Chains A and B, each alone.
Chain A
């Protein structure tokens, strides 16, 4: 079973279709699948629904797919820092399902674990609770949130072996493991592909069962807020 593909376009070749739901890893611009997003842009796949914590910036991350009007809907917790997103949203071109960050992560994790819904206190009494089932447990009110089952997961890891076992680096892990888990098929892009045995089996962050295709490439890894301490 060959999992290693030559590049992003090759790995996504037979997987993309209009109207599909894609779960994408990353937080801000950190740990985003930048190469796979560029390949989706080149293919021109339309009406995409993205479950992703953020929408990138105007010219990087999911932002590149907003410029080409390929996105129909975002399921996100925070979409600031993207003026094109705001323009499309306010003009009604783009749907937005605001989901609290932890609820979004758990919706992905739950979907990947075969759990269609879970109850959480997050958002009770707020706009996001409207229309959702409420249920009391031990005197506290919770709302029902649904697991996310995506057609495709796109994820950025640091290293993977050729079977798909993957490790992440520092805070670039973020949404990548839960996003990887909730898709029918998961494609990951990494900085380095190694042979089986080169990653410590006790330190695998994402086991190969969740990973169907792997590509290696050069990442820009753009920094959103370069902050340094006074010398």
Chain B
């Protein structure tokens, strides 16, 4: 039985280390904040200018001046700090953010990432994704292993325009956990009742043993 969205987020939360400053992308990565392990303190950065992002507000706490990078209303915490966008991306570009957890459309076996554009179909923009993958210490992708047509999203080479070249360190999918290594992907973990053969069959990229 493969992992569902919440189980993927819970598995991604196991990547967090005490004291880290972390940036979570939109979608499944946002759910990771629900599964931060006990005894681990992480500070979430929101690239629109905040460290110490809190949970969504109660109705009476909604504040138009307080949103996350997905434009959703959020709350602050006692240790929150605010700053401008140039300072925020200074932290990112400067390597101060330990890890980013992001969604993806495609990942290649060399770590290339595509998650911002489908030519002629989806042209919204890269937002802060290119800055994040180029600047943070470690990039973890959380995504479904295959697209809606059942085709592998983990490829020999990306077909879509890249967000970054050789930037992904680890991929967490509904089927398991894979690391980008020299020569291909290494299976780190399988989701419950998923076999190595099933993972191989669902993966276009080379898997090294």
Interface residues, chain A, CB within 8 Å of chain B?
27-31, 53, 76-80, 86, 89-90, 98, 100-106, 108-109, 120-128, 158, 168-178, 205, 221-229, 231
A229 proximity list for chain B (CB < 8 A): 55-58
Offer 19 A-B interface pairs, CB within 8 angstroms, sorted by A: A30-B67, A77-B127, A79-B124, A90-B123, A100-B128, A102-B47, A102-B88, A102-B92, A102-B128, A122-B93, A125-B112, A127-B117, A127-B162, A170-B65, A170-B76, A172-B65, A173-B84, A227-B57, A231-B58
A105's partner among B64, B85, B125, B135 (CB-CB below 8 A) is B85
Nearest B residue to A142 via CB reads B134
Shortest Cβ distance from residue A113 to the other chain B in the assembled complex, whole angstroms: 10
Whole-angstrom CA separation of A170 from B128 in the bound complex: 19
Please provide the chain B residues from 71 to 122 with a CB less than 8 Å away from any CB of chain A in the complex.
Answer: 71-74, 76, 82-86, 88-90, 92-93, 112, 117
B50's partner among A90, A124, A171, A223 (CB-CB below 8 A) is A171
Whole-angstrom CA separation of A209 from B12 in the bound complex: 46
A169 proximity list for chain B (CB < 8 A): 65
B89's partner among A86, A101, A124, A225 (CB-CB below 8 A) is A101
Whether, in the assembled complex, B184 has its beta carbon less than 8 Å from a beta carbon of chain A, the answer is no
Interface centre among A86, A104, A170, by most chain B C-beta atoms within 10 angstroms, is A170
Shortest Cβ distance from residue A114 to the other chain B in the assembled complex, whole angstroms: 15
Interface residues, chain B, CB within 8 Å of chain A?
46-50, 55-59, 62-68, 70-74, 76, 82-86, 88-90, 92-93, 112, 117, 123-131, 134-135, 161-166
Contact A228 B134 (CB under 8 A): no
Contact B124 A177 (CB under 8 A): no
Whole-angstrom CA separation of A174 from B87 in the bound complex: 9
B165's partner among A53, A103, A124 (CB-CB below 8 A) is A124
A53 proximity list for chain B (CB < 8 A): 85
B71's partner among A28, A101, A170 (CB-CB below 8 A) is A28
Also in contact, A171 and B67, with CB within 8 A (given A126-B163, A178-B84, A231-B58): yes
B70's partner among A103, A128, A178, A225 (CB-CB below 8 A) is A225
6 closest Cβ contacts across the A-B interface? A102-B89, A125-B165, A102-B131, A80-B124, A78-B125, A105-B85
Contact A122 B134 (CB under 8 A): yes
Nearest A residue to B56 via CB reads A229
Shortest Cβ distance from residue A140 to the other chain B in the assembled complex, whole angstroms: 10
A121 proximity list for chain B (CB < 8 A): 93, 134-135
B84's partner among A126, A127, A177 (CB-CB below 8 A) is A177
Whole-angstrom CA separation of A231 from B165 in the bound complex: 43
Shortest Cβ distance from residue A210 to the other chain B in the assembled complex, whole angstroms: 12
Contact A105 B88 (CB under 8 A): yes
